[in-house]
Amino acid sequence: MRILSIIHDSIVDGEGLRTTMFFAGCPHECIGCHNPESWLYENGQLYSVDALLKTVTDFPLNQVTFSGGEPFHQAMEIIPLAKEIKAMEKNIWCYTGYTFEWLHSHGNEYQKTLLTYIDTLVDGPFIQNLRDTTLHFRGSTNQRIIDLNSVLLE
């Protein structure tokens, strides 16, 4: 997987303390993006599943967040990582510029599988004229925080 950066003890990328992995590569290229260096896949460094799992186990109190860039751009590679994180009984949040409906209806098999490992999805592209700095865990009012444990059970 190509990772741009990893931040430990984040309190802005989901509930509680989190280890946030910023995946490289993003097709959305939202105007006003807070992380435009993540747009290029080549800007990331290669990490193995084992190396990323070590970063998770080094901070045992932290839950995990996938951000970017666009994590669903590397869904096939992320699935084994997400599976192991869930085996540790960790909570996974994921930020995506896609909507849940698009991923659920039009995503490829890997994107749909990755959804099954995510507990909370923050979906939708960042839209600069809908920016709201008072929102928790999201940047613009069109973005939603979705409890996938509830949605995918329906």
CATH number of the domain bearing residue 81: 3.20.20.70
Window from 99-113, 122-136, 140-154 with minimum mean pLDDT: 140-154
Which is nearest to 33 in space by CA: 69, 4, 73, 64?
Answer: 69
Q: What band does 28 get if pLDDT is binned at 50, 70 and 90? A: confident
Provide the pLDDT for residue 83. 98
How far is the C-alpha of 54 from the C-alpha of 68, rounded, in Å?
20
The mean pLDDT of 30-49, rounded to a whole number, is: 88
> Which residues form the domain of 52?
2-151
Band (pLDDT 50/70/90 cuts) for residue 153 is low
Tell which wins on pLDDT, 31 or 86.
Answer: 86
Number of domains making up the chain? 1
Question: DSSP assignment, residue 140?
Answer: B
User: Which has more confidence, 153 or 74?
Assistant: 74
Q: How confident is the model at residue 152 (pLDDT cuts 50, 70, 90)?
A: low
Percent of the chain having pLDDT more than 90?
85
Cα 103 to Cα 58: distance, rounded to the nearest angstrom: 32
Structural contact between residues 19 and 57, judged by C-beta atoms closer than 8 angstroms: no
Contact (CB, 8 A) for 59 and 19: yes
Average pLDDT over residues 2-14: 96
In the numeric block, which tokens belong to residue 3?
């990772």
Mean local confidence (pLDDT), 14-42: 89
Whether 51 has a pLDDT exceeding 80, the answer reads: yes
